[in-house]
Amino acid sequence: MELESLVSVAKSKNAPRTSDADTLPYGGGVDRGTNTPPAALSRLPVLRSLIEAKGCGLLGHSARVSGIACAVGAKIGLPRTELELLATAAEVHDIGKLGVPDRILLKSGRLTDAEYAVIQQHPEVGRDLLRMAGSRGNLLDVVLCHHERWDGEGYPFRRRTTESPLAARILSLADTVDAMASDRPYRASQPMERIFGELERCSGTQFDPNLVDVFLTLARGSRSHDWVDRIAAQGAGQLAA
Ligand SMILES: [Fe+2]
């Protein structure tokens, strides 16, 4: 199926919904962290490249988010299967943005309410795209929940506290850190101390407060100008070990 058609189907009301079958491991040959068959996992780098090719400051974003998330995950003692789930989810978390028109995705000015509503569809579109590409279970749920918030004010389902998977809460934090540390069409990158202050301000509202504490402990030990890259490399190293 052509990519445009795939996105169109994923955005339509005819897209298959999440079912109990999606949460069950496959009987034979499945990645234990993501519940996804290896053949389907092998397609994910292609999907990641497609979203990075759309621009909007995303180049390298997925890899850095993966590294940051794994660094946090390793710090709290997650097993390797969970780190692999984190890394895979981070690589493709914004794949649903393939369904967002460039005039909205690349807009430098303030989004209208209608435009923001389109952006807010991307976790569900991403979940549906990944399912059509053969992914199952945990990976779909983490991608679906990466914009939920600790206080229940996120989207798409306003899940609160631990109603979202731990991996999705880690991904949310890592995604925001890298977004604030990167240049975007609508603003320049933020300095480290401002990012730390924002995380403290949003601890217990946007973010899981325990994860904020873990991240700040990690980050405050690395005060060089490339602190984000250093943390990301540290997380990537956990997977390579
Ligand atoms: Fe996103």
> Cα(123)–Cα(1) distance, rounded to whole angstroms?
21
Residue 10, domain member (yes or no): no
Q: Is 51 helix (H, G, I), strand (E, B) or coil?
A: helix
Task: Give the CATH number of the domain where residue 37 resides.
Answer: 1.10.3210.10
Q: Give the CA angle between residues 79, 227, 217 to the nearest 5°.
A: 55
Q: Distance, CA 150 to ligand 1 centroid (Å)?
A: 16
Q: Which domain holds residue 194?
A: 33-240
Task: Give the per-residue pLDDT at 214.
Answer: 96
Paired tokens of 177? 């850190």
How far does the centroid of ligand 1 lie from the alpha carbon of residue 28, in Å?
31
Checking if the pLDDT of 31 tops 70, the result is no
More confident residue, 18 or 200: 200
Check pLDDT > 70 for residue 41: no
Q: How many domains does the chain have?
A: 1
Has residue 6 got a pLDDT over 90? Answer: no
Cα of 113 vs centre of ligand 1, distance in Å, is 17
Q: What pLDDT does 35 receive?
A: 66
Does residue 187 belong to any structural domain of this protein?
A: yes
Q: How confident is the model at residue 105 (pLDDT cuts 50, 70, 90)?
A: confident
Spacing, Cα 116 to ligand 1 middle (Å)? 12
Would 233 be classed as within a structural domain?
yes
Residue 20 in any domain: the answer is no
Q: Quick one: pLDDT band at residue 17, thresholds 50, 70, 90?
A: very low
Going by pLDDT thresholds of 50, 70 and 90, the confidence category of residue 224 is confident
Residue 24 lies in a domain: no
Does residue 177 belong to any structural domain of this protein? yes
C-alpha 94 to ligand 1 mean position (Å): 5
Each residue's pLDDT tens digit, 117-141 = 999 999 999 999 899 888 888 999 9
167: pLDDT strictly greater than 50: yes
Cα 230 to averaged position of ligand 1 atoms, centre (Å): 23
Question: Quick one: which H or E segment has residue 116?
Answer: helix 113-119
Q: How many CB atoms lie within 10 A of CB 85?
A: 29
Predicted pLDDT of residue 120: 96
**Number of CB atoms found within 10 A of residue 28's CB:** 6
Considering the domain boundaries, does residue 123 fall inside one?
Answer: yes
- The answer to whether the predicted template modeling score (pTM) of the entire model surpasses 0.95 is no
Residue with tokens 């993966």: 66
The residue behind tokens 């975007």 is: 184
Please give the mean pLDDT across all residues of the chain. 83
Q: What percent of the chain has pLDDT above 90?
A: 51
Among 36-40, 117-121, 127-131, 144-148, name the one with the lowest average pLDDT.
36-40
**Residue 203 counted as domain residue:** yes
